[in-house]
Structure 1
């Protein structure tokens, strides 16, 4: 009879633990984002994303060029504007690449920085069991002296060549001298990435706490400028900056000198201004294109120049108004376009009321040097034979509508609707300095001359020093990274065999391993072996070989 023992069944294996797919996705995404390959791709994308900022005109730098681009490309310009092409560095897509690169660099640098600090405090590793398998190897070579003395001599030679060394002895009396060199390569690599982080932080905080503005400043005591948001032609304040935070200073352009090559290329610009800071005394300062005017919490940069015609208009009732009207350059020879608007003219003295249909505007081109062939382009940027070509319009200028419009051109909608009509004829009227133009209603326009003007960019960036320091540190780190070579060498010093020569001595075996691509490591290894093992080196009393 067979007895079947009733044994309990073995416990069932626990089911495999299923990981959270969301956490796994986040973990894998973080690993991909913080990989060096992703950081390089993002750095390349940031460089590519910055190309439109150098090709297309930017509003924060030159709003007049942006306006010119809109006139020259009326269909393409709105599309580019919607994509942020005229304000690249403030666009959402550029900020996305910027923040991803910043996050990726932090994830890459911090673990490597910890490993580098740990490796600097960790002694070189012991020699591998078989030195003969290393790329560089020297078989056992006899050398006079006890193993401890030879190990001390070898370590001294390596230290003189700036190797980090460690000497240890095993139970059999064999000394191992381990040496390593080339930590500057990884240090330079980390310095480059930390410097890049500093640049990114500087640019980010500079955009938060910095501000800038552009101003067209005409020469003359009556056309001064004080640092206020309302007095800028275009301005942008950082999110952390309020209009009341702007420093207090005033500028008055007293003189502007420009010289040109015979070809018309600019040679030198020099602006002279009277400066008042915080209500203090007036100081006369000069600055050029490459040498900005440095004030307290502001730098004033000279960007360009032009001419502002001085026009005196006398209406039908004999009332005169004089305006200094800047004309914007359209080419390198300072062919300039602009408009002069006189909305407050032809006021009936009997009723003291203004007829909006009797407003007057002039639009045209100013040529510093009229071409001999009669072309509508200036032949030279300096005023050699200046002339002003104007077309007169009378009617409603549209300034009372409350809509923003350019001060450098008349309202085209008013002209198209017939509310502003041409009263000067089919061809523009040519005026030279001193000429007077009498219109059909007896009103006159006198061209008195011109004043120079300059285009200024006033900027403040509190992290400018950080960005400069980061750029310099990045360059140093890149040079160290390219010049450094990581390598390790080992020397095994063992007692001779019992049947060796009675004179005693030691057997020295060496091996070398380059940690990076280093074509010259073979020659360096041979020099180290010769200095550490040669008999004459043993007799060298501490003198470097």
Structure 2
């Protein structure tokens, strides 16, 4: 019977079996090993993709701050919580940045040791010939000499000739044990497979660095230019500007752009009524100066044909009409005169218009309404636009007077007029009716001696999107390198081959040299058998005049 152990003895035994504590250094080493595993890098890459999903589900502050404000206002309970977790600033959030940095560190920890290990393997000699080549997955034999009076080469000569032939096929070779009676050659090829794998991971690092450089030092801005007006690439000249985290305004390229004319082409094929009036092409003629004092250049800007000024891309992203309006206040002074940018709302370019006139006296004036490029009215009804072309332009406006709230310092949307607290002068529901300005009625006096409004002309405008991304070209190059590395790692096979030559006699007692060779693949290689057949054909052509005879065993034939 086994003697029962006391509690003290059982405790002592458990203590003897316990693993000693790792300590701070050991824990740090263990954490580093876990972080630099390839499986960890794959998990972090998956987490990065998942973390980017909210960026497409919720509006992002860097792209449209007004949409974020509207979302929070429409969701007073959930919106502030989403903002606390930075779901409206996904790509600059602390949790997205943490995953990004961990992935970067993990890839660096994976690639550097792997590259050093492969460099050592490349410089090392091929492994020695195994004693039993017949155990390799692909095994063959050929006999040289002993037929038709052909003299067999010596084993040393056969091995040296085989080594030269393998070297021509791209193997790195090492001849072993010459003069021993059973010389051999060890050969290896496909080292570029691992190079491709390393290049792929290095290129991923390049993509991460390029994207980070673009978000840190790049910028994106929008500008609306009316025909005849200019845009200078300075911070104050943008309508909206989204800089990178570490962007410096002094880095802006000092170029300027003047919009000479804009032309929109519409479908006029009456045989295709479903597509009649749809836009087919947009073209803008610009005058560009790369720097102050530089010679002007005439540039043709079109959709998907951006302007490139020293790496800064200018895209044509929008267009519309800008009616030229003159507003006189109650004192008879011109309070506003110039083009007003409208926002198209349908396929026939029915465009909403908002005009704020804070300089009017004694009271400020505001106007909202529609621009109709081709206005048509039937049976005294309200006109509507029937074509996007500028054939019969008309304005239908409502007017207001009062404090527009522009003097309080609070930013406002230029395309929205807050009518609360304003006195309505003209509207559809007002006894004065709306203001109608067209080719026959160019000027209308406002009620209660608040001035007048006059429709002078219509110009075209374009919306420009200006991008500067210093990481764009490096990211593209990194993508090409990653693609090339992936192709290399997928289609280059890493193989080892050994050839051994021994001297013997055939059944008639004639001296012969037996050449046995085998192949081994590093990993899965379904073309290994085809390579063995190619080597057999190589030996046959090499020793065709030496009475070569083939008798080989495949792996499936071995007992």
Alignment TM-score > 0.5, same fold: yes
Q: 1:523 to 1:265 in 2, by over 3 A?
A: farther
Q: Report the Cα distance in structure 1 between the residues aligned to 2:88 and 2:397, rounded to whole angstroms.
A: 31
Q: 1:449 to 1:229 in 2, by over 3 A?
A: same
The answer for the alignment partner of 1:291 in structure 2 is: 305
Q: Report the Cα distance in structure 2 between the residues aligned to 1:214 and 1:380, rounded to whole angstroms.
A: 28
More displaced 10-residue stretch of structure 1: 68-77 or 314-323: 68-77
1:424 aligns with 2:424: no
Q: Report the Cα distance in structure 2 between the residues aligned to 1:165 and 1:372, rounded to whole angstroms.
A: 90
Q: How does 1:35-434 map to 2 (within 5 A)?
A: 35-51=37-53, 53=55, 63=64, 67=66, 75=74, 78=79, 84=86, 87-139=89-141, 141-142=143-144, 144-169=152-177, 172-220=180-228, 223-261=229-267, 263=275, 266-286=279-299, 287-296=301-310, 298-320=312-334, 321-330=336-345, 334-346=349-361, 355=362, 358-369=363-374, 381-411=388-418, 415-416=419-420, 418-421=421-424, 423-426=426-429, 428-432=434-438
Shift of 1:73: 8.9
Report if aligned partners of 1:212, 1:459 keep a CA contact under 8 Å in 2. Answer: yes
- 1:372-431 deviation line (CA, Å, top 9, x unaligned): 9999986654434544332211111111111111111112xxx33x34545434175444
State TM-score, norm by structure 2: 0.80
Q: Report the Cα distance in structure 1 between the residues aligned to 2:195 and 2:384, rounded to whole angstroms.
A: 59
More displaced 10-residue stretch of structure 1: 427-436 or 265-274: 427-436
- 1:210-236 deviation line (CA, Å, top 9, x unaligned): 33322122222xx32222212212223
- 1:88-122 deviation line (CA, Å, top 9, x unaligned): 43333332332222111111111111122122212
Counting matched residue pairs gives: 508
- 1:105-160 deviation line (CA, Å, top 9, x unaligned): 11111111112212221222122222222211125745521111111222222222
The answer for the alignment partner of 1:12 in structure 2 is: none
Q: 1:166 to 1:108 in 2, by over 3 A?
A: same
Shift of 1:293: 1.8
Report if aligned partners of 2:377, 2:383 keep a CA contact under 8 Å in 1. Answer: no
Report if aligned partners of 1:247, 1:297 keep a CA contact under 8 Å in 2. Answer: no
The counterpart of 2:500, out of the listed 492, 499, 517, is 492
RMSD: 3.4
Residue 403 of structure 1 aligns to a residue in which SS?
coil
Structure 1 alignment gaps of length 5 or more: 1-14, 347-354, 541-545
Q: 1:138 to 1:296 in 2, by over 3 A?
A: closer
Report if aligned partners of 1:345, 1:360 keep a CA contact under 8 Å in 2. Answer: yes
Q: Report the Cα distance in structure 1 between the residues aligned to 2:295 and 2:172, rounded to whole angstroms.
A: 63
Q: Report the Cα distance in structure 2 between the residues aligned to 1:135 and 1:395, rounded to whole angstroms.
A: 92
Shift of 1:488: 1.5
More displaced 10-residue stretch of structure 1: 91-100 or 450-459: 91-100
The counterpart of 2:448, out of the listed 441, 444, 467, is 441
Q: Report the Cα distance in structure 2 between the residues aligned to 1:528 and 1:372, rounded to whole angstroms.
A: 87
